[in-house]
């Protein structure tokens, strides 16, 4: 639980950092630099995870071109940091749905009730967009949430199909290699090599600090920790923690960027927290019940 809360705190406050990086760097170039430096130099001394290549390649492509490329692109002009931290949480619902479909994971009625409460909180916030997003921005971030959910499934598959134990840090570093080519193609196609080179040459310390934080805090620590949790526990227990990201995201945006934080946002956040509490309590109770020794029946 402590690790999950720490991960979502890093991810939530990161939306403010992303906005800072986008002041100097085009979005797909920003994402490209993030994954390039998450791969190099780490793949030079971290052994390749002993799992089929398809999961490493798929995971890298999904989190690179599928999730962060569109997210950064939307955050440049089409959605505010606080709202982006909210809409991306569609991944929690997508992850649970994919896990039920692919892994046949069971979700109890109490946990489903928690999901409903949390989604109601998100709906309260989403119903008061107040001009802070365009329809294109909402669609792009929803697509990023779906890609994140698919990456969660790919990470779980990689762990299940492994030929030998491997660290999630190595998995993230090697997967980042395969995030680079599609992001490079998008950068060249949409911005051109001249624009990319000019942006890197003129980027300030804040932009390069944002890149460094994407690598160290968000990719190597948070993604490795999240993948570890997703591989070790049921997705229905882990994924809903990410619904706390908008609480951190909107709080950091209000504090550092001056985004409004009216009563309806606080009410929506309270519903999200209540829903997560119900889901976590349900998952903990089921896990304890599964570990408890069975009482012998008469005649045993």
**Strand stretches in the chain, DSSP E:** none
Helix axes 180-190, 69-77, angle to 10 degrees: 40
- In a 13 Å sphere around the CA of 108, the CA atoms on its Cβ side amount to 15
Q: Is the pTM of this model over 0.85?
A: no
- Site of tokens 């690598």: 215
- ∠ CA 149-140-209, nearest 5°, is 85
Identify the top-confidence range among 196-200, 215-219, 238-242, 291-295: 196-200
How far from 13 is each of 100, 103, 146, 176, CA to CA, in Å? 30, 32, 21, 22
Q: Cα separation of 186 and 179, whole Å?
A: 11
Q: How deeply is 153 buried, as exposed, middle or buried, from its count of CB atoms within 10 A (0-12, 13-18, 19+)?
A: buried
* pLDDT band at residue 95 under the 50/70/90 scheme: confident
Q: Is residue 249 predicted with pLDDT exceeding 80?
A: yes
DSSP 76-105: HHTB-HHHHHHHTTHHHHHHHHHHHHHH--
What would the pLDDT profile of 136-158 be if each residue is shown by its tens digit? 888 899 899 999 899 988 988 88
DSSP helix/strand/coil, 61: helix
* pLDDT band at residue 223 under the 50/70/90 scheme: confident
Mean pLDDT along residues 246-265: 83
- Site of tokens 């994140």: 148
């Amino acid at each position: 639980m402590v690790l999950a809360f720490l991960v979502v705190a890093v991810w939530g406050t990161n939306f403010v950092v992303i906005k800072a990086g986008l002041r100097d760097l085009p979005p797909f170039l920003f994402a490209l630099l993030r994954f390039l430096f998450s791969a190099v130099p780490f793949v030079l001394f971290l052994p390749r995870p002993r799992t089929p290549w398809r999961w490493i390649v798929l995971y890298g492509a999904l989190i690179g071109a599928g999730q962060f490329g569109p997210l950064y692109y939307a955050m440049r002009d089409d959605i505010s940091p606080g709202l982006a931290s909210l809409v991306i949480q569609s991944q929690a619902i997508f992850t649970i749905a994919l896990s039920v479909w692919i892994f046949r994971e069971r979700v109890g009625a109490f946990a489903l009730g928690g999901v409903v409460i949390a989604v109601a909180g998100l709906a309260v916030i989403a119903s008061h967009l107040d001009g802070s997003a365009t329809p294109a921005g909402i669609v792009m971030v929803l697509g990023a949430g779906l890609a994140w959910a698919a990456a969660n499934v790919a990470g779980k598959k990689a762990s299940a199909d492994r030929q030998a134990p491997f660290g999630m840090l190595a998995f993230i570093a090697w997967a980042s290699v395969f995030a680079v080519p599609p992001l490079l193609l998008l950068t060249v196609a949409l911005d051109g090599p001249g624009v990319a080179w000019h942006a890197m040459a003129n980027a300030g310390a804040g932009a390069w600090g944002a890149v460094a934080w994407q690598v160290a805090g968000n990719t190597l620590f948070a993604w490795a920790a999240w993948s570890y949790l997703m591989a070790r526990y049921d997705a229905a227990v882990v994924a809903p923690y990410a619904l706390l990201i908008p609480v951190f995201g909107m709080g950091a945006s209000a504090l550092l960027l001056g985004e409004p934080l009216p009563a309806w946002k606080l009410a929506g956040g309270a519903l999200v927290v209540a829903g997560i509490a119900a889901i976590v309590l349900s998952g903990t109770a089921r896990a304890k019940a599964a570990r408890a020794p069975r009482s012998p029946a008469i005649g045993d």
